[in-house]
Structure 1
């Protein structure tokens, strides 16, 4: 008799498998690209959580590629397809970006989304039994997931439809590659005609952002990676954001951050803030961290780069770090109750 799995039990989720079975690194496709381009250098970029897998993937490629082909790994921070190592891109014949789907297609870049082999359906079944309204009560449900589970998205949709749900999906905007896909900064795919959204994927990073962007919707988190089923709760987040705005209301000098990463810059927004505030100063940087800002000595900062830096890392900064919308509240241009989640749209 099989034992009941509890939250955090990783058996049979894929995380206990060896690296070459847990994710599909598409080694054959990379080797084929090297041969077609007669490449001499290959650059590999992994997101932070998968950098430790880099040496194993490099070994797999070395075993297959000619000895004179050099394979190198990017050590630059990477949190999305908006965060490409442009230095490595310019200096390698083949550049491979792992863990994300294309935000903008390019012949120069090979995107390997790392599709997961985790079985999503046991957790989806729990979601329909415990958290989602029944089809008789409310048949409308939105379905979203991340790039890692897009290989099973059509099956997920059919699975819900077979159980009587009317599944609402859409692609969102140009920043998104697939129908039903969400990013940490973009939840346009959840803008559907349904009061409940089923998120299938690992962790709470994406669904919490989704719930903040769509506070009117019930967001059910079916996490097959960590064997967890919850409802997204944004109360603690909202308290933190209101506190940051209040602290910034007395600020006299503002640092306005423009992020130089290829897919995270909002130059027009940064310029607009500085042009309309004589006490605002434009600061350009690639990686936005508390240590890098300390020596500027500003009273508060506005981040026009990745919104998750503000919302997720905000408490780590010694001075208030606000989104552009929160800044408008802090200086009195908008009421406090207009506070909303900051999202990113479009590509570079």
Structure 2
């Protein structure tokens, strides 16, 4: 049933509302769409593509608009959530399918959840990695983030002003990515009394708080070269535009205030990931917000980049979940 993973992945450019969306696919069978987060690319799913293919699935990892080889619209508001969902739908249809299971990590988790919420006719099941589902609601996001950190500035607020974070990152993309990936990995937590790397001191930069030293075990020099090479070519504005649309999303999705995602779902978080801690209330609310939840797993000793830090375990959890889905969900 499945394509042998040794045949390797296939790169495709597909028409989408973004213009073109770059997709890397491997295998045959029910379609599983993989959506990456910040600051990554399709390459963050490099371990899952062959694993899902070997398990009998057609795995397709896309570059979100603004990243990698996908189109990069100039307007900041082109990166609102509804646009990203539309791209995901277009990819499913361009691949000749009517429906898919959607899996997302970090910002991709939010894209996956909203894709399932907005287009249940296309996305029959959803898996969320690292960032749990939290329904739209509450105050305007910018108001919430501005209240965090005291004298320090939360990284989401820091990312809001066009050009500001770019000025920090783009002169040394590779070095910045190395620090950011390391800071959010298991084995590199802030030392006791050390300020966390998610906040910016007055007049400072995020990089000021990144750890120094070797790369985390999951990230080779060649892997880092791949990620850095993409952002050196594209710049960071397309990726950062996702943060700059959170208030627009809050307005656009008002009709979904408090809405649950009802399809069969899965959540996987890292035990050492700040997202799991910050959003503990969202995880506790899953019986209400994810009534179709099949499993919620916290990987002990794992950081934020779980499908790369724990590739085999993540792939096994995903394939076990996929195998157990009703046929109508595949």
TM-score normalised to structure 2 length: 0.26
Q: Which has the higher helix share?
A: 2
Greater relative CO (CA pairs within 8 A, separation 6+) = 2
